Amino acid sequence: MNYYSLHHKSPNTSFKNAVIQGLAKDRGIYFPENITPLSKDFIANITEYTNHEIAYEAIKQFVGDEIPTEKLKEIIKETISFDFPLVKVDDNIASLELFHGPTMAFKDVGAKFMAQCLAYFNKDNEEEVTVLVATSGDTGGAVANGFLGAKGVNVVILYPSGKVSNVQEKQLTTLGQNITALEVDGVFDDCQEMVKTAFLDEDIKRTLTSANSINIARWLPQMFYFFFAYKELQKTNKELVFSVPSGNFGNICAGIMAQKLGLPIKHFVASTNINDTVPNYLVAGVYSPKPSKATISNAMDVGNPSNFIRIRELFNNDLEALKSAFSSYSFSDEETRETMKKIYGDSGYVADPHGAVGYLGLKKYNLQANEFGVFLETAHPVKFLDVVEETLPVKVAIPVQIQKVINNKKVAIKVASYEDLKAFLMK
């Protein structure tokens, strides 16, 4: 399988090179040359397969022969070593919990898969690779955990100062070893722009790659849990609507990829906070990125989502075709808090702010009698402890994954500009 840049000014490249490069030389993100739907028999009989077998079928065409079959299956086994339960919270709505991995966020899947792929490609290479990643919250912790102690790999995480939760900050600033955290005076979009600029800076002699969802090995594995949810919900005999809390839009883009592979999903809802670039685009037909604003659902505080260009490509840049299968709605912090209260009051379910935004998206979409809605609960409520405990009459127990880091000392380097980042990378 080869990949092309969505800016169309760089040569096509292999899976391996796309993973290692992260971003094409023309600053475009990579996209697969072909998407071949899975067999109808496989989809119809999906309940007969294990999650490991399903994941292998979903991803193998995108890897091709660049990782041997048995090694790829080993990588998948390591990647999805935890559960993805569905929890019913309403008559026709369930939460798909994606927070049962090592850092308690959905990004554990992509981070673990990418780390394993990069380790395989780098096994005979004496040159060190620097993984450069921007985070609005959960990406940093997942990447840090996934690459911790990896031979020949240094990880540099940029995060916006004061705009991630305490737990998220501890997860990315306390591990040490080959993980370095840079605390940026700015917002997530500033961090992301610094990362993209560094890739094209010829003065920097390090081998750089990205572990954001711009990297295909971070993005594509997120298809897996849409397949797992379909496997569990096939018995409902209802059409499925997925609402995905969306910031950089990699997660929902992976869901649409699963749909293109043949998964019978009726509709996607991209649920956002007040960072409403995509909802506005669907209304006005003009894509106008803008600076992000801070909210209580900070992992979605993105004003220029990198993966939306992939979503447009999946629909051949046809706005009407996109709108037929995809909606996007924006919600305020006040609406988010009220919804957290409603979900808890109605069902006793504790949703984090991102999950509550996903639930709101399903309500705004207005499910019909023949439809069943799934919202993605992308992180454990403990990741947003202050917001959850201020909003709901609950005391959130601290899971063991968080206990390991919560009392550790933060270590981060202050960064105010791209020149600061460049100076660090050129040491």
**pLDDT tens per residue, range 405-422:** 888 889 999 999 999 999
User: Angle CA(183)–CA(189)–CA(193) in degrees, nearest 5?
Assistant: 85
Q: How many CB atoms lie within 10 A of CB 237?
A: 8
What is the pLDDT, as a whole number, of residue 336?
98
What domains lie within the chain, and their CATH numbers? 85-105+219-399 (3.40.50.1100)
Q: Which residues are catalytic?
A: 107
pTM: 0.90
Question: What gap in Å lies between CA 288 and CA 284, rounded to an integer?
Answer: 10
CA atoms of 41 and 352, how far apart (whole Å):
37
3-class SS of residue 294:
coil
Task: Give the type of residue at 123.
Answer: K
pLDDT for the residue numbered 272 = 98
* pLDDT score, position 360: 98
Q: Which helix (H) or strand (E) holds 114?
A: helix 107-121
Residues 63-90 as b or e (16 or more Cβ within 10 Å = b):
beebbeeeebbebbeebbeeebeeeebb
Place of tokens 């010829």: 202
Question: In a 3-state reduction of DSSP, which class is residue 363?
Answer: helix
Q: Which of 142, 176, 154 is nearest to 401 (CA)?
A: 142
What is residue 354's three-state secondary structure?
helix
Model pLDDT for residues 381-393, shown as the tens digit of each residue: 998 999 999 999 9
Residue type, 389: E
The letter for the amino acid at 188 is F
Rounded distance, CA 190 to CA 292, Å?
Answer: 9
Q: Can you give the length of the chain in residues?
A: 427
State residue 25's pLDDT score: 87
Low pLDDT (below 50) residues in the chain = none
Q: Give the containing element (helix H, strand E) for 155.
A: strand 153-160
Q: pLDDT at position 143, please?
A: 84
**Tell me, what's the pLDDT at 2?**
96
